[in-house]
Structure 1
């Protein structure tokens, strides 16, 4: 792996991996607030100097963590069966896996897709890899479901619908519903609205 922080020597891979696993654990258990050099060093049983030596500082850790989280998402999406020929069923299956990944750890999802860490901007090459690990996989499933020449636009509209529904779901799950809110708390309500959203956007794109 090579990023803006340079190549990684093979002799450093083991200790680097230990620190990276600690960073992932901190993210899952403490959220982005725990992603400090001192906090990561303590979680890994290392020292702040060790973090700087292996990652070049906090930004290097965050870049490595950004890459790892999208690898985990890609691994989950790769478990999906091949497209069945039913575009709606294929997109709903993709969406369900994507949503399950988000619900498993809202803090991880926020780190991946929102500016959850003030001042941190992922390395541009890692952002390209992240797109390949998620968005491009979705685009392949959208292409046969929309009219010729509209695949790029269609993929973006499906992704923003899916991503928006998930982000709002995470927000509402963390709060008490406002008076008169049409969605009742519970998995069933969120399942239905998510399926309805994807179904509606695909129907519109195909019309």
Structure 2
């Protein structure tokens, strides 16, 4: 969870933690004011006073999830383009691993019981806009490009990065970290998903001549 300091914010944090645990165990249908209150150790009235019920809690998780995605794109100053990309990659992979409920919610593993609010959808668009803006700065300049074609190339690069990383995080979530060895099913070999993701991003960067 994003760190909260005041008493009210700590209560909100406990509520969101309880909601994320319930989501992982049973999806949106597992989340109710009563279930969250019991798990978080608060009253149902407290749930409504902080978040105005189930919709408000899901929106808060959704918004927080995309805020975490945006934070993952913050890199140290003075790095080379490739080093910046790899730092952001590591931060995104850690987000996917450490905030699984948020990740699954914002990338569609919900159900018909939840439709993000207009505010939540706006945060989603802002997050993708930041990804495009950040990754575009990593691309080497090309004298043959117009402003429009440069923007399109930046969006394409951003989508390819996101598709790669999302694929690896999704595999991690679906317990494919250990893949069976067909020759000896009793002795599975283990797949280091983070190293594989980093290698894929490096290959993508090389195709765009980023170093």
User: TM-score of the superposition, structure 1-length normalised?
Assistant: 0.72
Aligned CA distance change for structure 1 residues 20 and 131 (closer, same or farther; 3 Å): farther
Give 1:136's aligned residue: 130
Structure 2 CA distance, aligned partners of 1:27 and 1:135? Answer: 28
Give 1:62's aligned residue: 58
Structure 2 CA distance, aligned partners of 1:194 and 1:185? Answer: 15
**Deviation at residue 62 of structure 1 after TM alignment:** 0.9
Aligned pairs (5 A) from 1:46-195: 46-78=42-74, 80-82=75-77, 84=79, 86-133=80-127, 136-137=130-131, 139-145=133-139, 148=145, 149=150, 150-173=153-176, 177-180=179-182, 184-185=189-190, 189-195=192-198
Structure 2 unpaired stretches of 5+: 1-5
Which region of structure 1 is more displaced relative to structure 2, 111-120 or 161-170? 111-120
**Deviation at residue 198 of structure 1 after TM alignment:** 0.9
- Give the length in aligned residue pairs: 188
Q: Deviations over 1:89-146 (max 9, x none)?
A: 2211101111011112322321232233542121232222234346614641344325
Structure 2 CA distance, aligned partners of 1:172 and 1:47? Answer: 35
Q: Is residue 26–residue 40 contact of structure 1 (8 Å, CA) maintained in 2?
A: yes
Q: Is residue 16–residue 57 contact of structure 2 (8 Å, CA) maintained in 1?
A: no
What SS does structure 1 have at the residue aligned with 2:190? coil
Normalized per residue, the structure richer in helix is 1
**Deviation at residue 200 of structure 1 after TM alignment:** 2.1
**Deviation at residue 161 of structure 1 after TM alignment:** 1.3
Structure 1 CA distance, aligned partners of 2:82 and 2:182? Answer: 31
User: TM-score of the superposition, structure 2-length normalised?
Assistant: 0.71
Q: Deviations over 1:34-82 (max 9, x none)?
A: 532112222344333443344332111111222233334444543x302
Give 2:3's aligned residue: none
RMSD: 3.2
Give 1:40's aligned residue: 36
Structure 1 unpaired stretches of 5+: 1-12
Q: Is residue 161–residue 201 contact of structure 1 (8 Å, CA) maintained in 2?
A: no
